[in-house]
């Protein structure tokens, strides 16, 4: 019986696992191998350098800076997206009419590619001259045009990055939360009302949030992975023909320029990628542990 | 990518005409494949913007009889695509490249082309041939020369009572005076100049990126002093930032968003068409007593991939196209965009380059042109560009930033020297 | 009084929602406004909410553009997105079902092996993947554009979670009827799991339609370009004619919006009943 099950297991899982092995694991192992070699402009290097690429990467201020920047960015964008999409879900969920309409409007941006979104933000919404929409609005109030993406003091580019990210992603997470909210047993709310709990904050804190914990764990994990792997919108907003400015530079963008551009230092790039993957793994696992711990506390 | 290189320079410049190109279909439509018999060769170009360029290169390829050449026109990040393709056997046989880079040469990714220039080597502009020469051998045949320079609106300068600046201090001053609530004084690109200027201010201070004997060329207090002045431009709010088009496109100057703009030679026909006589061109001004004006020049080169299945046929084709067929070279340089032919004899003959601002530009390129040295590697370049950005925008101490760059570049120079 | 408070709260919420909805729609509005404007109207210092003249011919010019076969790129994108979606659904749902339902000693190890790849940024494996696909001779082929992207750990994960929560009674009944795993899956499980297929399918379709780097590098011949590559051929070269860029962008997202609006209900239903969370 168990042998037959094993056979069936592989009939179902085998094709997928095989493809994943070939198209993900082979390149992955290959990359990790490259990270121990001096691999300038080659994927079949011969000069073994041990951990040199790793030490070089960890000593590289630009790379370490980008890791730090993205720890901070993650610490900000994760709660921000979380709160924003949860608020959207709560508001939409309470609607009696036009619910599908609002849900569609907030979800629609998820259909946009990062390339298109970056185009709108960079060329039209937040361009630095007088015919950008943001600057037009500023102009109505007598303000001077702001070069949103080029100004480092104050760092307005974060406003551009955060708004485009929220616009693109909030709707998707809102859907996840909406689904979670649908599953909460209405009896819980009725009981709370009987106990005299005022709708609003108390109910949110003592019923809604605990009931949404499973959804929250998933959302936070996806958000964390997403934040560290940020690439597309940053690249499309801030890079130009000559490269990428030394601020708001995600680790992946930095590695991209190191390993995939004219600078084809594949060993160094791979070492950086491994370091990044480790950081992501540590943060994600830590997060999962912490959130799950929270659950046992609440349940106990 | 991060390099100040000619490739990106051209790629960017290409944009100027790209969309105009969309509107008209000149030349033989679409035929991508050459008519020749013999081996199949694949040739890559990055996407030029000028109307008709793609049709022209198709035409050249079709006219070659000894091989069947198919042209690929690559949009997007060309460096990245060629870099990846060169790792495999499915890449191009012949490709244009800003370089080849030192790592490509040392990594054996490109073929030695020295013999192709037998007898005509002296006719190629040495400024752009030198960075394609390594170990005494030539690894890329220059196609056309490009350069960058400072455009200014004569009328706006006159209204503000400003003379065309000949020193960096005067430039800073002029940019400030030219700035009003509607118009900015100077446009150096949306990043404030860190990308496009690169080593140009260093050469303006009489320094260099890498010296001829392969040492760091800016380990000198004058470097910090000069770069520090660029921050003044930013701090004075004289710089145009966040324009929808970048420095490579003259739109900002033409739309009246800025009074002066650093751009490429390729922009000249368009500027001339829209502004008539109301503009002039300048080199990057000198700074300090040892300073001299500077303009960056460079050339895309045609290279042959070492993984080509027909390296000899590919070499023969490159020789035919970029050495023998001077008619094609002249057509390519001057009929679509605006470039200086890489061969001195052709450049001297070209009527379009003999008068007006075009003649000024050519003169600037011969008198003050510098090309990025081969030893200036992407890693060193990106460290330098980061530092320059921080100096310009954040007012970081130029001294301290440059010290870190010098360390990094020295390490890179050691690395590439060890390999040779 | 409480009633009044509640009503005021409700009104406030509605106002807030409407304001947010307007903000969310602004980018779409800009896309259309700029796409139908002339160049002068876009760069005019005086802001106008609608261009002086709606230039529908921008759309025609885009499709007539000789330098980019725009219609062809749309077709390529559609082909690739549909094939990727169907392939992914098939492979990932089978795997998800196997992991969730077929008892096997090493099932958990296999599952974590699949899940772990979610942590690895695609850029990390980009160059070796490219070399691998190239050595298979798949450059500029539909195979090369589609096959390597079919193995989505995310999709597999969603299916597994969904099938874990799938009512066992249905399958048990099927087993009693003597159906094996294979026929149970096709005859009982798939017909009852449509929402999750719709949800995952939409997400995969969006990803396939919007992906850029892989098609750019694999689709070397112009005949293999996708619409995102065509878009980039306008953007990377320092565009002058903003309106062409915007109209191309607008056209490129139109099919998606349609797919999206049609399937939205399914996505919500699918998410609700699946274990995405």
**What chain C residue is nearest to A166 in terms of C-alpha separation?**
C24
Cα separation, A89 vs B4, in Å, equals 48
Q: Decide if A266 is inside a domain.
A: yes
Q: Give the residue numbers spanning the domain of C261.
A: 59-273
B245/C137 CB distance under 8 A? no
Chain B residues within an 8 Å CB radius of C219: none
Interface membership of B75 toward C (CB under 8 Å): yes
Structural domain count of chain A = 1
pLDDT for B38 = 83
Nearest to B207 by CA among B221, B193, B189, B188: B221
- From the DSSP assignment, how many helices (H) and strands (E) are in chain B? 18, 12
Q: Decide if A259 is inside a domain.
A: yes
Residue B40 bridge partners (DSSP): B68
Average of per-residue pLDDT across C186-193: 88
Q: Decide if B1 is inside a domain.
A: no
Nearest to A75 by CA among A64, A86, A67, A65: A67
Task: Show the tokens assigned to B324.
Answer: 């023998």
Q: Name the B residues in 85-104 with CB < 8 Å from any C CB.
A: 85, 87-90
The answer on pLDDT for B26 being more than 50 is: no
B190/A132 CB distance under 8 A? no
Q: Decide if B342 is inside a domain.
A: yes
Report the Cα A265 to chain-centroid distance in Å.
26
CATH number at A249 reads: 1.10.3720.10
pLDDT for B24 = 31
Cα separation, B322 vs B56, in Å, equals 14
Both B135 and B197 in one domain: the answer is no
Q: Give the residue numbers spanning the domain of A126.
A: 35-299
Cα separation, B4 vs B382, in Å, equals 9
Chain A residues within an 8 Å CB radius of B83: 41, 260-262, 264
Both B252 and B400 in one domain: the answer is yes
The answer on pLDDT for B47 being more than 70 is: yes
pLDDT for B168 = 97
pLDDT for B383 = 92
Both B326 and B261 in one domain: the answer is no
The answer on pLDDT for C104 being more than 50 is: yes
Nearest to B243 among A126, A128, A261 (CB): A128
Q: Decide if B20 is inside a domain.
A: yes
The answer on pLDDT for C235 being more than 70 is: no
pLDDT per residue as tens digits for the range B148-157:
999 999 999 9
Specify the 3-state DSSP secondary structure of B201: helix
Cα separation, A149 vs A244, in Å, equals 12
Cα separation, A157 vs C204, in Å, equals 30
Q: Decide if A153 is inside a domain.
A: yes
pLDDT per residue as tens digits for the range C49-64:
888 788 888 899 889 8
Cα separation, B209 vs C149, in Å, equals 43
Q: Decide if A9 is inside a domain.
A: no
pLDDT for C39 = 78
Average of per-residue pLDDT across B15-24: 31
Both B139 and B157 in one domain: the answer is no
Average of per-residue pLDDT across B295-306: 95
Average of per-residue pLDDT across B5-17: 34
The answer on pLDDT for C119 being more than 90 is: no
Q: Decide if B313 is inside a domain.
A: yes
Q: How far is A154 from chain C (nearest CA, A)?
A: 24
Interface membership of C147 toward A (CB under 8 Å): yes
The answer on pLDDT for B351 being more than 90 is: no
The answer on pLDDT for C1 being more than 60 is: no
Which segment of A290-294, B15-19, B201-205 scores lowest on mean pLDDT? B15-19
Nearest to B87 among C43, C131, C242 (CB): C131
More confident site: A30 or B12: A30
Residue B184 bridge partners (DSSP): B258
pLDDT per residue as tens digits for the range A151-181:
888 899 999 999 999 999 999 899 889 888 8
Q: Give the residue numbers spanning the domain of B354.
A: 6-146+297-371
Both B133 and B170 in one domain: the answer is no
What residue spans of chain A are helical by DSSP H? 2-20, 26-34, 52-59, 61-94, 99-107, 114-120, 133-140, 157-182, 186-194, 201-203, 209-211, 213-228, 232-238, 251-259, 266-299
Cα separation, B333 vs B350, in Å, equals 10
Q: Decide if A30 is inside a domain.
A: no
Which segment of A101-105, B31-35, B325-329, C29-33 scores lowest on mean pLDDT? B31-35
Residue A40 bridge partners (DSSP): A265
DSSP secondary structure, B255-295, as one string: TTSEEEEEEEGGGHHHHHHHHTTS-EEEPBPB-STT---BE
Report the Cα B79 to chain-centroid distance in Å.
14
B89/C134 CB distance under 8 A? yes
Q: How far is B413 from chain A (nearest CA, A)?
A: 14
For chain C, what percent of residues have pLDDT higher than 70? 94
pLDDT per residue as tens digits for the range B244-268:
788 988 889 998 899 999 999 988 9
Instruction: Please check whether residue C157 is in contact with residue C96, taking contact to mean a CB–CB distance below 8 angstroms.
Output: yes
Both B87 and B179 in one domain: the answer is no
Interface membership of A285 toward C (CB under 8 Å): no
Task: Show the tokens assigned to B75.
Answer: 């949009």
Residue C158 bridge partners (DSSP): none
* Average pLDDT along chain C: 85
**What chain A residue is nearest to B392 in terms of C-alpha separation?**
A152
Cα separation, C67 vs B337, in Å, equals 17
> Which residue, among C41, C65, C236, C248, would best test binding to B if mutated, counting the most B CBs under 10 Å from its CB?
C236
Non-local (6+) Cβ contacts of B162 within 8 A are B173, B174, B177, B178
Specify the 3-state DSSP secondary structure of C182: helix
Q: Decide if C255 is inside a domain.
A: yes
More confident site: A297 or B299: B299
DSSP secondary structure, B102-141, as one string: HHHHHTT-B---GGGGTTTGGGB-HHHHGGGEETTEE--E
Cα separation, B159 vs C171, in Å, equals 86
Interface membership of C30 toward A (CB under 8 Å): yes
CATH number at B323 reads: 3.40.190.10
pLDDT for C172 = 84
More confident site: A178 or C239: A178
pLDDT for B9 = 35
Please say whether the dihedral angle defined by the alpha carbons of residues A76, A92, C200 and C213, taken in this order, is positive or negative.
negative
Q: How far is B145 from chain A (nearest CA, A)?
A: 19
- Can you state the angle between helices B378-394 and B221-235, rounded to 10 degrees? 50
* Average pLDDT along chain A: 87
Cα separation, B233 vs B171, in Å, equals 9
**What chain A residue is nearest to B249 in terms of C-alpha separation?**
A241
Cα separation, A181 vs A167, in Å, equals 22
Strands B141-152 vs B340-341: parallel, antiparallel or unpaired: antiparallel
This model of the complex carries an ipTM of 0.86
Structural domain count of chain B = 2
The answer on pLDDT for B399 being more than 80 is: yes
pLDDT per residue as tens digits for the range C129-146:
988 998 898 888 889 999
Both B245 and B386 in one domain: the answer is yes
Give chains near B: 3+ CB pairs under 8 A. Answer: A, C
Both B210 and B170 in one domain: the answer is yes
Interface membership of B337 toward C (CB under 8 Å): no
Interface membership of B251 toward C (CB under 8 Å): yes
> Which residue, among B19, B77, B242, would best test binding to A if mutated, counting the most A CBs under 10 Å from its CB?
B242
Report the Cα C80 to chain-centroid distance in Å.
12
Cα separation, B143 vs B141, in Å, equals 6
Task: Show the tokens assigned to A115.
Answer: 């390339």
């Amino acid at each position: 019986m168990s042998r037959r099950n094993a056979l069936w297991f592989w009939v179902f899982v085998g094709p997928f696992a095989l493809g994943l092995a070939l198209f993900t694991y082979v390149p992955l192992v290959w990359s990790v191998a490259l990270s121990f070699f001096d691999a300038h402009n080659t994927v079949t290097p011969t000069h073994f350098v041990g951990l040199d690429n790793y030490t070089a990467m960890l000593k590289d201020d630009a790379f370490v800076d980008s890791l730090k920047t993205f720890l901070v960015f993650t610490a900000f964008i994760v709660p921000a997206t979380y709160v924003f999409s949860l608020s959207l879900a709560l508001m939409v969920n309470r609607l009696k009419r036009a619910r599908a309409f609002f849900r569609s409007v907030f979800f629609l941006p998820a259909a946009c590619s990062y390339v298109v979104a970056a185009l709108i933000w960079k060329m039209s919404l937040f361009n630095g001259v007088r015919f950008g929409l943001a600057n037009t609005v500023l102009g109505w109030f007598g303000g001077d045009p702001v070069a949103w993406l080029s100004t480092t003091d104050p760092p307005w580019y974060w406003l551009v990055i955060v708004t485009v990210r929220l616009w693109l992603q909030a709707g998707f997470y809102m859907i996840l939360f909406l689904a979670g909210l649908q599953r909460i047993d209405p009896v819980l709310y009725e009981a709370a009302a009987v106990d005299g709990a005022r709708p609003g904050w108390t109910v949110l804190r003592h019923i809604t949030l605990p009931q949404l914990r499973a959804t929250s764990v998933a959302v936070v994990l996806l958000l964390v992975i997403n934040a560290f792997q940020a690439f597309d919108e940053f690249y499309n907003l801030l890079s130009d023909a000559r490269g990428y400015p030394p601020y708001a530079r995600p680790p992946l963008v930095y590695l991209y320029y190191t390993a995939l551009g004219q600078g084809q230092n594949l060993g160094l790039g791979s070492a950086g990628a491994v370091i990044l993957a480790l950081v992501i793994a540590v943060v994600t696992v830590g997060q999962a542990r912490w959130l799950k711990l929270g659950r046992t506390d609440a349940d106990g | 990518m991060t390099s100040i290189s000619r490739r990106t320079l051209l790629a960017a410049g290409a944009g100027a005409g790209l969309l105009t190109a969309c509107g008209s279909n000149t030349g033989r439509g679409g035929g991508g494949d050459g008519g020749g018999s013999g081996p199949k060769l694949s040739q890559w170009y990055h996407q030029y913007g000028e109307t008709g360029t793609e049709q022209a290169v198709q035409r050249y390829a079709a006219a070659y009889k000894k091989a069947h050449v198919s042209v690929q026109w690559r949009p997007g990040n060309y460096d990245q695509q060629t870099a990846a393709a060169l790792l495999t056997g499915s890449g191009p046989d012949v490709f244009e490249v800003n370089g080849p880079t030192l790592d490509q040469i040392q990594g054996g990714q490109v073929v030695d082309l020295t013999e192709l220039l037998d007898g005509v080597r002296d006719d190629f502009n040495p400024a752009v041939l030198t960075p394609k020469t390594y170990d005494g051998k030539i690894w890329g045949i220059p196609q056309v020369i490009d350069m960058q320079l400072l455009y200014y609106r004569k009328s706006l300068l006159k209204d503000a009572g400003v003379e065309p600046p000949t020193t960096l201090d005067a430039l800073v001053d002029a940019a400030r005076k030219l700035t009003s609530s509607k118009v900015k004084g100077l446009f150096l690109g949306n990043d404030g100049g860190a990308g496009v200027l690169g080593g140009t201010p260093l050469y303006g201070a009489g320094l260099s990126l890498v010296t001829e004997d392969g040492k760091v060329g800016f380990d000198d207090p004058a470097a910090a002093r000069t770069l520090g002045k660029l921050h003044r431009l930013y701090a004075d709010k004289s710089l145009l930032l966040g324009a929808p088009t970048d420095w490579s496109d003259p739109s900002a100057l033409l739309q009246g968003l800025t009074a002066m703009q650093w751009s490429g030679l390729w922009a000249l026909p368009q500027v001339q068409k829209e502004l008539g006589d109301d503009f002039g061109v300048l080199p990057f001004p000198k700074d300090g007593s040892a300073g001299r004006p500077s303009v960056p020049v460079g050339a895309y080169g045609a290279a042959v991939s070492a993984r080509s299945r027909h390296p000899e046929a590919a070499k023969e084709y490159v020789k035919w196209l970029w050495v023998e067929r001077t008619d094609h070279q002249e057509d390519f340089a001057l009929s679509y965009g605006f470039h200086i032919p890489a061969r001195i004899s052709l450049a001297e003959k070209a009527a379009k380059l003999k008068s007006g601002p075009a003649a000024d530009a050519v003169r600037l390129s011969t008198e003050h042109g510098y090309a990025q040295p081969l030893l200036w590697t992407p890693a060193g370049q990106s460290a330098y560009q980061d530092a320059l950005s921080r100096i310009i925008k954040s007012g970081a101490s130029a001294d301290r930033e440059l010290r870190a760059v010098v360390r990094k570049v020295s390490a890179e120079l050691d690395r590439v020297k060890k390999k040779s | 009084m409480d009633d009044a408070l509640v009503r005021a709260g409700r009104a406030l919420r509605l106002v807030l929602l409407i304001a947010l909805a307007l903000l969310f729609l602004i980018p779409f509005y800009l896309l259309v406004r700029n796409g139908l404007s002339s160049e002068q109207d876009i760069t005019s210092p005086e802001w106008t909410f609608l261009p002086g003249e709606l230039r529908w011919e921008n759309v025609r010019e885009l499709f007539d553009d000789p330098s980019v076969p725009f219609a062809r790129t749309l077709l390529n994108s559609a082909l690739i997105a549909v094939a990727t979606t169907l392939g992914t659904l098939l492979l990932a749902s089978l795997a998800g079902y196997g992991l969730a339902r077929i008892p096997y000693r090493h099932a958990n190890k296999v599952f974590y092996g699949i899940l772990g790849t979610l942590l690895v940024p695609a850029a990390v494996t980009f160059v070796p993947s490219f070399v691998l696909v190239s050595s298979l001779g798949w450059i500029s082929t539909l195979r090369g554009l589609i096959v390597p992207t079919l193995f989505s750990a995310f999709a597999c994960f969603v299916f597994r979670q969904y099938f874990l929560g799938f009512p066992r009674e249905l399958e048990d009944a099927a087993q009693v009827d003597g159906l094996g795993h294979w026929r149970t899956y096709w005859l009982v499980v798939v017909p009852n799991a449509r929402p999750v297929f719709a949800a995952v399918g939409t997400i995969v379709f969006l990803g396939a339609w919007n992906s850029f780097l892989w098609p750019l590098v694999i689709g070397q011949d112009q005949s293999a370009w996708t619409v995102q590559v065509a878009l980039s051929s306008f953007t990377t070269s320092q565009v002058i004619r903003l309106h062409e860029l915007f109209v191309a962008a607008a056209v490129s997202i139109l099919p998606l919006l349609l797919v999206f609006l049609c399937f939205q209900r399914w996505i919500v239903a699918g998410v609700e009943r699946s274990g995405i969370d």
